Each structure stands twice: as structure tokens, then as C-alpha cells.
Amino acid sequence: MISTLRTLEQERAKKAWECVVYCLIFKKDDEKWQSKYNSLVRKVSSCILTNGLGQTLAFLKAKGEGKPDSEHEVLYQHIAGWITACLHINGDLLEWIITHANSQQYRRITMEVLSFLQWLKRFAEAQLPKGEEE
């Protein structure tokens, strides 16, 4: 008997796919924006490994300036949307990490973000235009 429950990996893939489709629809006539988002997605995992999750999320928020059309803000919202739903966190992800997360929760969230970003990177590379940096 095949289980109807989806695995966590399937759910990550589904959410990542929805994020990339959102980018295709949200900025359907803006290949430059799409390629910037693609480039940012490809770089953010190494930024997390180098600087830490909290600093990377703070960077995305600062660069995004709360503007809904900024690729930095969109990526922050994609990451935060997945993590807050997956781990049942209420409120803003960065604020929650700063005020509530202990070291074990911080590591768990970091690992979950990196796992989600693997799918997001794959789908972005497959569906979004590549920038000049290639």
C-alpha cells in the first residue's frame, strides 16, 4: 500500500518549485530581475556557511529594504515562509531566531534552510534566466 503522506523532502521540493514559479509569474517580463534572483539563490548557501544564518538573513532583509519587488526581499520571504510553516514558528523568522532560538534550534533551522535552498537552487537554475556572471 502506497502512503499518501508526502515526505519532508517532497514538501521542500514542492515549496521550492512554487517559489520559482512565483518568480516567473511575478516578474514575467523582467529577465534581469529573474537572473538576479537566480544568482542570489546560487550564492546564499555559501553565505550562510561563511557568515551564519542570522547574519545572512539580516543581509537579505537589509538589501531588500522591505520592498516587495526586491530579489533580496523575495528570497528572504521564500526562506522565511518555508521555515515558519515547516517548524511552526510564529512571526518574523529573523526576529524569532534572535529572541527565541537556542543553539540547538538555531542549528536545526540552519540545516533546514540549507536543505530547502538545495531544491530552490536546482529549480532556479533550471527555470530562470542566467545572469552575465555565468
Domain assignment present for residue 106? The answer is yes
CA distances from 30 to 55, 57, 71, 100, 128 (A): 29, 25, 12, 38, 11
Q: How confident is the model over 56-80, as a mean pLDDT?
A: 96
Q: Which residue has the higher pLDDT, 88 or 4?
A: 88
pLDDT in tens, 15-43: 999 999 999 999 888 999 999 999 999 99
Number of domains in the chain: 1
Specify the DSSP class assigned to residue 5.
P
Selection from 7, 64, 1 nearest residue 37 by Cα: 64
Kindly report the average pLDDT of the chain as a whole number. 92
Q: What is the CATH number of the domain that holds 49?
A: 1.10.520.30
Domain assignment present for residue 132? The answer is no
* Residues 70 and 37 sit within 8 Å (Cβ to Cβ): no
Q: Given a cut of 70, is residue 4 above it in pLDDT?
A: no
Domain assignment present for residue 4? The answer is no
